[in-house]
Structure 1
């Protein structure tokens, strides 16, 4: 983890970046706030959102080996970015009711035997195009299925599952898995105690 990670949504959660351009999709999702952990929403204001996007595009450039141009945001872009984040989380958790179609507008180029692309324009529209293209590519390579949201409802951190069978459900077993497993175990013991004959005779 490098020194810039504290300004990145995934880095501040001490999580490794997803491979390739999928890191941008992950960063978008991890920009959400976690009130119980006092983690702020990075799309709450224009300054925080621009800092988030600049850092995320730097990670995207490092992960893909492509040069990232700066995408400028304004305050008017924030509602659309938050809607995009909501929609993408819906895909990831299979909770999307009616998938919202989003236009994709990019410049394609072919150089050194490979295609590359850059989103056109600025603002939320450019971010939306890039996020959708990276998600599309990841769905074809099978990596999108390994991007998961932590099952702890008060967490929801998005991590890349590197387990052999892709069976992880917690972003961190110590902070989320053990806590919820212990809570569930206590609930089962309470339920068993309430149903015991000793309780029914009282």
Structure 2
């Protein structure tokens, strides 16, 4: 679900005051709707007190974009906003709106898509899936070392997982260390041989 939203759009192009006011209105609306917006336009006032180079501010903005779930692009010309959109896309941050999209349409799209799976959520799900798979392989290796028939399971998982799990088993079960490491070595050798055969075929 989308929670943290980066608001990108014109700042120094055109009427600076109007640009900041528009961005603040949008951020206030997002806040009322339950989002937590990040407003880079506020750095305009920060820069008045502690000036910094343009690229320094942009790097600061990029860092926040990477921590947000979505980016809302306000309409209007903004080279910095365009770069922020590209940075968001490169880091899996969902983008709503564009330089040519009316702000109301961009907001509507954001509200309609607020339940979308974020990049962070997708990553967490992938990691959890990986852990489930590795735990299953660990059980398989344990069974294999006990001499059980695991031919069906062997077809379901890449050999590299078998080797990794055997290494884990060697650490978790000291009494099986020698046997597990020998099994891991055999698996890796088999995998290397398979790769060599595939290379010859191609």
Instruction: Name the one with the larger helix percent.
Output: 2
> After TM superposition, is the score higher than 0.5?
no
TM-score by length of 2: 0.26
Give the number of the structure whose alpha-carbon radius of gyration is greater.
2
Using structure 1 for the length normalisation, give the TM-score. Answer: 0.26
